Amino acid sequence: MNFAIVGCGFIAKKHAEAIKNIKNAKLYAVCDKIPELMREYVEEHGAESYTDFETMLQNPHIDIVNICTPSGSHAILSELAAKYKKHIIVEKPIAMTMEETDRIIHAATENNIKLAVVHPNRFRPVALKLKEIMDSGKLGKVSHALCIVNWNRGQHYYDQAPWRGTKAFDGGVLMNQAIHNLDLLLWYLGKPVEIMSMDATRLRDIEAEDVSTGIIRFETGILATVQASTTVYPRNYEESITIFGEKGTVKIGGTNALYFKDIIIEGISEEEALGTKESIEKNPWGTPGHQIILSDMMQAIKEDRQPVVTGEDGKTALSVVLNFYKSSEEKRLLTL
């Protein structure tokens, strides 16, 4: 199948690498407003290059379009791709507002094309194993969870491009970084019903937040605390999720949440827990999440089924971020 990437910046490299590693996949075309950024893809992949997205979409050989542009442009570009009947893989966040998200989902449904959102952290070996533990019920009734993203993105990160750190095109730590962790929490814990949050812009010169703390109550009654920041000195400090159940405590974490920090579960011996930890440590990144999502899209097209991370999944994660913002702005608890 033939892929085309729009937006040849930082994340496009992961998409191109994934395409290279998938059998029967080809990077057929690339599009960026800045011609120099396309050169490596033309030279390395033999890709066609376009500076105008709609002109690229008119190429009938393109099957799937990967949207890798600033988040605030995902909706308009996805709608256009759907109009030309291209299947869509859109980077996270799916869009910046619920209205934009509904437009994307509607365009995909109307034009009968597949839509996947890139939430790749689900496919880290440790995240998949934690999902297995959660689904097994071994932790018993879960009382609460703790989700931490204490990272560093210096001012130079935000100064790289004018869209970074803006409310319309990027958002802050929640929309850009912690949305991955919120997606995991929702995947593990189900439907959120109440949200309360506070955020602030403490150390970076940006419009959006660089620190956020919030609480989610899930339909099951589980409470989750979320603490996220990009202000930590001098580098990334911790990304973790801890689940506390009546029969177990499990923590995944590290500078990036790639490892089991604790597996303490009734009926599971220390040796068995150590074995699980060590098996993850052998290959903590596993197959890149981008590769799994792209290759799943090819399979979803062939089998005419939903992709593994759907537009609705992207919408749920976005809705939690937006409700965190709203709760913080309106200084009140929100019932979803």
Ligand X SMILES: NC(=O)c1ccc[n+]([C@@H]2O[C@H](COP(=O)([O-])OP(=O)(O)OC[C@H]3O[C@@H](n4cnc5c(N)ncnc54)[C@H](O)[C@@H]3O)[C@@H](O)[C@H]2O)c1
Q: Which residues bind ligand X (CB under 6 A)?
A: 6-11, 31-34, 37, 53, 68-71, 73, 91-92, 118, 120, 161, 176
Taking the complex as a whole, the smallest distance from the CB of residue 215 to ligand X amounts, in Å, to 25
Q: Which sign does the torsion angle of CA 14, 47, 71, 103 carry?
A: negative
Nearer to ligand X, 217 or 290 (CB): 290
DSSP 231: B
Nearer to ligand X, 225 or 287 (CB): 287
Q: Which residue lies nearest ligand X, judged by its C-beta?
A: 9
Nearer to ligand X, 62 or 142 (CB): 62
Taking the complex as a whole, the smallest distance from the CB of residue 146 to ligand X amounts, in Å, to 22
C-alpha dist (Å) from residue 326 to 93, 201, 204, 313, 333: 17, 15, 21, 20, 9
Residue of 148, 161, 152 whose CA lies nearest to 226: 148
Which residue in this structure is represented by tokens 């509904």?
Answer: 102
Taking the complex as a whole, the smallest distance from the CB of residue 137 to ligand X amounts, in Å, to 30
- Contact yes or no for 230/208 (Cβ under 8 A): no
Give the whole-angstrom CA distance, residue 206 versus residue 220. 37
Taking the complex as a whole, the smallest distance from the CB of residue 123 to ligand X amounts, in Å, to 11
Q: Tell me if residue 238 falls in helix, strand or coil.
A: strand
Taking the complex as a whole, the smallest distance from the CB of residue 67 to ligand X amounts, in Å, to 8
C-alpha dist (Å) from residue 229 to 27, 172, 238, 259: 35, 9, 10, 20
Q: Which sign does the torsion angle of CA 164, 166, 170, 171 carry?
A: positive
Taking the complex as a whole, the smallest distance from the CB of residue 245 to ligand X amounts, in Å, to 29
Taking the complex as a whole, the smallest distance from the CB of residue 272 to ligand X amounts, in Å, to 32
Nearer to ligand X, 71 or 327 (CB): 71
Nearer to ligand X, 66 or 327 (CB): 66
Nearer to ligand X, 122 or 217 (CB): 122
Nearer to ligand X, 144 or 286 (CB): 286
Give the whole-angstrom CA distance, residue 180 versus residue 182. 6
Task: Identify each DSSP E strand in 51-191 by its residue range.
Answer: 64-67, 87-91, 115-118, 142-150
